[in-house]
Amino acid sequence: MLKALKLFLRESWLLIAASFFFGLLLAVTYTAWNPKIEQNKTAKFEKQVADVVSGAKLDASIDGDFVISDKISTKVYPVKSQTGEKLGFAFAAQGPGYDVIELVIVVDANCENYLGYGVLVCNETPGFGDKMKYPFFKDQFTNITASELTLVKEGDPADKEDSEIVAISGATISSQGVVNIFNTYTGIIREELIKRGLIQ
């Protein structure tokens, strides 16, 4: 047994040393770059909110995470105008399409209407699912009632029911993914805001 161990160490010391070295290198690199990565994520989040509500800025997040499920929670940020007027709330939300979709959803001050959304992460099919970033699809979520949304496969986005979202042609799964994210998060966020006395 001892002989086998010595043979193993003699034959594999270089692999062990290399694994340790590169593991240490990755840890150091992550530690060094993590603050910058988080800073970039925050900047992107703020930019998406400002794109949804022109000139809006974020306050510090509300204390405590908002629990969406056993594995998912999010932070909610009050959104204000440049003069300090309360405009609503913003939160990051994610769910599956073909891949993971991450959005910034912005609701009004009473969480009764959607003001719109921005895209944080989208690796959906180029030319199809990634059109969730385009105004013709995004605008359907602007200034509509924050109720349960339904995806319809055909129709005119400009002439539809308030709660209906017309799918991107050829990208039903991605479109449904966006709708599902809205439906999954909004009710829970609203209930929690009421519980915390932040809305009525």
pLDDT digits (tens, 9 = 90+) for 26-58: 666 656 655 566 678 888 999 999 999 998 999
What confidence category does residue 22 fall into, taking pLDDT thresholds of 50, 70 and 90? Answer: low
CA distance 16 to 101: 38
The verdict on residue 150 lying in a domain is yes
The b/e string for 51-75 (b: 16+ C-beta within 10 A; e otherwise) is bbbeebbbeeebeeebebeeeeebe
Check pLDDT > 90 for residue 181: yes
Nearest to 173, CA basis, from 121, 128, 134: 128
Best CA proximity match to 146, nearest among 175, 116, 118? 116
pLDDT reported for residue 14: 64
Q: Is residue 8 in some structural domain?
A: no
How many domains would you assign to the chain? 1
Q: Is the pLDDT of residue 61 over 60?
A: yes
pLDDT tens digit sequence for 83-103? 999 999 999 999 999 999 999
Q: What is the residue range of 136's domain?
A: 50-195
Instruction: Read off the pLDDT band of 120 (50, 70, 90).
Output: very high
Buried b (16+ CB within 10 A) or exposed e, 180-196: bbbebbbeebbebbeee
In a domain, 200, yes or no: no
Domain-embedded: residue 158 = yes
Bridge partners of 92, per DSSP, are 104
16 in any annotated domain: no
Q: Is residue 75 part of a domain?
A: yes
Residue 33 inside a domain? The answer is: no
Asked whether residue 8 carries a pLDDT value surpassing 70, the answer given is no
Q: How sure is the predictor about 200, in pLDDT bands with cuts at 50, 70 and 90?
A: confident
Indicate the average pLDDT of the chain.
88
pLDDT of amino acid 180: 98
Between CA 104 and CA 59 the distance in angstroms is 15
